[in-house]
Structure 1
Amino acid sequence: MKLLSTCDRDAAFSLSEALRLGAAPDGGLFMPAHVPVHVRGSVPSDRSLAEFAADWLRPFFADDTLEGELDAICAEAFTFPVPLVAPLGTDRSLRALELFHGPTGAFKDFGARFLMGCFDRLAGSEPLTVLAATSGDTGGAVGCAAENRRSARAVILFPAGRVSPFQERQLTCWADNVTAVEVEGDFDDCQRLVKAAFAQPHLSAAHRLTSANSINLGRLLPQAAYCAHAAFRAAENSGELPGFIVPSGNLGHGFALLLARAMGAPVGPVILATNANRTLLEWHRTGRYEARPSVATLANAMDVGNPSNFERVAALDPGAAEVTVELVNDDAIKARIAADYAASGYVWCPHSAIAAETWHRLGAKRQGERAWVTAATAHPFKFAETVEPLIGSAVEPSPALASIEGRSTAKQHIPARLEALAELLDREKVAA
């Protein structure tokens, strides 16, 4: 398998090279030279997720230095349950794919652990510097996955005042090889700094920079695997191609689902559900992509005005990239959390509530045509200050989330300038 840049499809890289670099040297994102397609039934879905994922992803690792390590990497990454539940009762078409049972209570745990497993085997004698921008959940997952690893030190950029109190604690509580950096700006500023750092060859080489954002294909491959696994499970239960509704910010999750469908997973219609950031909705309505300043919402991990993975979606064949887009604002998020809790006792986080609200808007006819799988992306305890007043009850943390409360925290603070980030990287390297 060769990987090509979305900017320059002439230069080819191996998978290991693409994972190690994070982003392509020309500033583009890595895409497979061709999308491997599995013949229906060639990857049995009645096994554990780790076993399924290894077989589903094997074509990407063919003839790569990591090929013989894939089974072990998957076994290390997929160690917690991924239940497909009926949040509103068994007689409804809605199914929630609960992706928040990992150590930091968010779907980002899969990609972060998978990628760190790859880095463990690629780093060599000197650690890599994993540079990650986060709008909320990525940073916590990366910090947790990187903690105390000899293969990597993590530098996590997050926007000042734009993450929940618990998310900030989860970003700033890890060991000394993880540095949390509060940036004066929004997520798009953080993402811009990461891309700018990679575009400086001397800076990238001096710190052995790599990425744990969804600009790194290694973050998305495990997501494609669990999307495919869920699709097979839902299809086997209903006999129809299930529809999927994915809360979408930087579009990594949405692209991973579209990649799984292009590879042969039984995925029907795909709806990208967004918060009040209108970039994707306007693209879907007009056919023109235009980045916008990000807007702060209750679903803060999706506060992205210039989703970087759009260029990957645009690089797919038109049929594979077919989606619809639904926008859900804060008032609708709050109403959905309250209404579904009153109806069934199920608690959504603000991001997952966007997907649930999108399902409710389908109407009875479309709901009844097939099973619909919504991605439940984060544990509601991470947003207790939003959720608890709406449901009138306390949200209990998972044991993993409860353990974070007792940790000490530390963070750095910089303006949204590349010079400031470069100086910080130099200081942290000397300190290490």
Structure 2
Amino acid sequence: MKFHSTRNGAAPASLSAAICAGQASDGGLFLPEAYPALAAGDANDTGNLAAFAAAFLAPFFEGDDLAGVLPAICAEAFDFPMPEITIEDGLSSLELFHGPTGAFKDFGARFLMACLDRLGDPRAPFTVLAATSGDTGGAVGCAAEGRSAVRATILYPDGRVSPFQAHQLSCWEKPVTTLKVDADFDACQKLVKSAFADRALTSRHRLTSANSINIARLLPQAAYLAYAAQHHYANTGKTPGLIIPTGNLGHGAAALIARACGAPLGPVILATNANATLHDWAQTGHYEPRASIASIANAMDVGAPSNFERLAAGTLDLSGLTVERVEDGAIRARIKSDHQTYGYTWCPHSACAAEAFARLPKAARNAQPWLIAATAHPYKFADIVEPEIGETVAPPATLAAVLERPARALSCRAELGALADFLDQGADMLA
């Protein structure tokens, strides 16, 4: 299997090369040359997520250096539950937040780091740059901690993440370091892209990405969404629709990849916050990136979603894809209403998806069952959630353990020179 750039200006790459590079040499994002059909035998085996993922992903890894260790990578990445909780007849919450950092990104981060650690060299480790709007950095830091062939540098927008997220982003031990940037997420993401565009810097530190621009983040997400869809279909005989909270569009692209491979998925709704880029594109057909807007669903505060390139490349079927934009007031109201009605508590991001479902016409709600990709544990946003539900949100054991760790982040200007200085001197700065 080869992987091609969305911009068609770079030579096709092997999967390992695509993972190590993060993005293509022409600045584009990698997509597979084909979407292998989910084999009937694999589709019927929904008893074990790790085994299903290994079978689902095997065609993408065929002929690659990592093919032989794919089952071990999947066993390492997919080792926590992903329950489907019924909210009401025809609506379920797919809880993706039972990993060590309480967010869906644990799956992809652990998968990526397991790949890089096997491809890397402890004498010259990869440096993973992760710009984060909230959850990616915590998952990457946790997944990188203690590894020998890969180190991680996390950049987050100072003052634009929740207090718990800020702690979680900066509590990991070597080889993880954290930079708080005096800018928004889009500036952090731009800084990372500028670093990749600097060939000397990239070569010096073997830079690669842990954001959803890296194909090794999307493939495991496609695998677990395919598993969830197939599991639901096997139990009900019905093809579910999927509602995904999204900011940088990686999860949405992963859902389309899963569907392209034959996963029984119907319509896909992208639920965004106040940031209007994707909503306006869906309404007008015109894509216009813009500055991000701060919201209470902060992990989705993205005005220039990188993965739009993957949708625009033309290899994924966009039929049935819609976008619903949800403002802060509606997020708060949905958290409160669904807690009162169902006794179920959403995080602000998942509440965007719940609101998108509530806005569907009755005929659309009844046309098929719906799964909401619940992306984070509500405890991570207790300052927002608790006033709406009138209760204290208890942390799961994994998140309680995070609070016991000391946290440290270094201030960094939103300038490539400042980031380069940190990368060159980082070990001394943290000594």
TM class by smaller structure: over 0.9
The corresponding residue for 1:52 is: 52
Residues 310-319 or 146-155, more deviating: 310-319
The corresponding residue for 1:238 is: 236
Unpaired runs of at least 5, structure 2: none
The corresponding residue for 2:362 is: 364
The corresponding residue for 2:91 is: 94
Residues 35-44 or 299-308, more deviating: 35-44
Deviations 1:273-313 (A, max 9, x none): 10000000110111111001100001000000000000011
Tell me the CA shift for residue 38 of structure 1: 2.3
1:24 aligns with 2:24: yes
The corresponding residue for 2:136 is: 138
Tell me the CA shift for residue 40 of structure 1: 4.2
TM-score, reference length from structure 2: 0.97
Residues 129 and 35 (structure 1), Cα distance of their counterparts in 2 relative to 1, 3 Å cut? same
Tell me the CA shift for residue 364 of structure 1: 2.7
- Is this contact kept in 2: 1:133–1:156, CA < 8 A? yes
Tell me the CA shift for residue 253 of structure 1: 0.2
Unpaired runs of at least 5, structure 1: none
- Is this contact kept in 1: 2:43–2:230, CA < 8 A? no
Residues 10 and 409 (structure 1), Cα distance of their counterparts in 2 relative to 1, 3 Å cut? closer
Question: Could you tell me how far apart the structure 2 residues matched to 1:362 and 1:225 are?
Answer: 27
Q: 1:103 aligns with which of 75, 100, 106?
A: 100
**Equivalent AA in structure 2 for residue 276 of structure 1:** A
The percent identity for this pair of structures is 58
Question: Could you tell me how far apart the structure 2 residues matched to 1:368 and 1:22 are?
Answer: 41
Deviations 1:44-95 (A, max 9, x none): 332200000000000110000000000000000011000011124xxx1101
Question: Could you tell me how far apart the structure 1 residues matched to 2:179 and 2:119 are?
Answer: 26
Q: 1:117 aligns with which of 100, 114, 120?
A: 114
1:4 aligns with 2:4: yes
Question: Could you tell me how far apart the structure 2 residues matched to 1:39 and 1:76 are?
Answer: 23
Question: Could you tell me how far apart the structure 1 residues matched to 2:45 and 2:296 are?
Answer: 36
The corresponding residue for 2:206 is: 208
**Equivalent AA in structure 1 for residue 73 of structure 2:** I
Question: Could you tell me how far apart the structure 2 residues matched to 1:362 and 1:394 are?
Answer: 31
Deviations 1:82-129 (A, max 9, x none): 0011124xxx11011000000000000000000111011100232111
**Equivalent AA in structure 2 for residue 12 of structure 1:** P
Tell me the CA shift for residue 325 of structure 1: 0.6
- Is this contact kept in 2: 1:313–1:321, CA < 8 A? no
Deviations 1:11-54 (A, max 9, x none): 11100000011111121111112222224444433220000000
Tell me the CA shift for residue 321 of structure 1: 5.6
The corresponding residue for 1:37 is: 37
Tell me the CA shift for residue 184 of structure 1: 1.2
Residues 272 and 367 (structure 1), Cα distance of their counterparts in 2 relative to 1, 3 Å cut? same
Tell me the CA shift for residue 344 of structure 1: 1.6
Tell me the CA shift for residue 200 of structure 1: 0.6
Question: Could you tell me how far apart the structure 1 residues matched to 2:270 and 2:314 are?
Answer: 16
TM-score, reference length from structure 1: 0.97
Question: Could you tell me how far apart the structure 2 residues matched to 1:430 and 1:164 are?
Answer: 29
- Is this contact kept in 1: 2:42–2:52, CA < 8 A? no
Question: Could you tell me how far apart the structure 1 residues matched to 2:412 and 2:42 are?
Answer: 50
The corresponding residue for 2:64 is: 64
- The number of equivalent residue pairs is 429
The 5-angstrom pairing of residues 238-317 of structure 1 reads: 238-317=236-315
Q: Moved runs in structure 1, 4+ residues, more than 6 A?
A: none
1:155 aligns with 2:147: no
Tell me the CA shift for residue 320 of structure 1: 4.3
The corresponding residue for 2:13 is: 13
Question: Could you tell me how far apart the structure 2 residues matched to 1:108 and 1:186 are?
Answer: 20
The corresponding residue for 1:329 is: 327
